[in-house]
Amino acid sequence: MANRVFSIIVLAICSLFFIESMKFSEKSGVQTFAPSFFPRVILVFIAILSVFIVIKSFKQVDKEKLGLLIKHYVKEHYQVLAVIGIFFVYIGLISIIGFLWSSILFLFITFSLLRPIKRKALITNLTVAIVLPIGIQFVFQQLLNIYLP
């Protein structure tokens, strides 16, 4: 089932790329190939493979339903999704409040999320969350001459 969904998504992406390739499909004068030639060869190949996987997926009998699997996963591993979400916010924050502050926040929150919450642990979390970004910023700006936002 997962394979089927995957192939259908891939096919959708393929068609999106194919439509986009119309924009530069013209071959001009001396060119050996139109710029769209090579991508289209790949797209056809991908489409054939995806269809093959879809057909194969009908032969296999699924023991569990995809929806149930996802539900189970979310329940069991909500932390993974939480970290992905926090990471997303973090990248967004970098351009607003700067690299240093957003990194400290990001590290502290994810440490606290992943470790059992205890008072002592929170203090270590905070220390590491502050020391690491400052250290990295120092190394990058002073030694490598790379300025972080």
List of residues contacting other proteins (CB under 8 A): 2-3, 6, 10, 17, 20-21, 24, 28, 31-33, 35-36, 38-39, 42-43, 45-46, 49-50, 52-53, 56, 76-77, 79-80, 83-84, 87-88, 90-91, 94-95, 103, 106-107, 110-111, 114-115, 128, 132-133, 136, 140, 143-149
Q: What whole-number distance in Å separates Cα of residue 6 and Cα of residue 8?
A: 5
CB of 64 to other proteins, least distance (A): 14
Closest contact distance (angstroms) between CB of 139 and other proteins is 8
CA torsion, ordered 31, 37, 39, 43, to nearest 10 deg: 180
Amino acid at 58: F
Quick check: 47 and 15 in contact, CB under 8 A? Answer: no
User: Taking the complex as a whole, how short is the minimal distance between the CB of residue 80 and other proteins, in angstroms?
Assistant: 5
Of 58 and 147, which has the nearer Cβ to other proteins? 147
Among candidate residues 114, 96, 103, 106, the one with its CA nearest the CA of residue 136: 103
**Between 33 and 71, CB nearer to other proteins:** 33
CB of 35 to other proteins, least distance (A): 4
Residue 87: name the closest of 117, 64, 107 by CA.
107
Minimum distance of other proteins from residue 69's CB (angstroms) = 10
* Three-state secondary-structure class, residue 34: coil
Question: What ranges in 33-98 are assigned the alpha helix state H?
Answer: 37-59, 66-76, 78-97
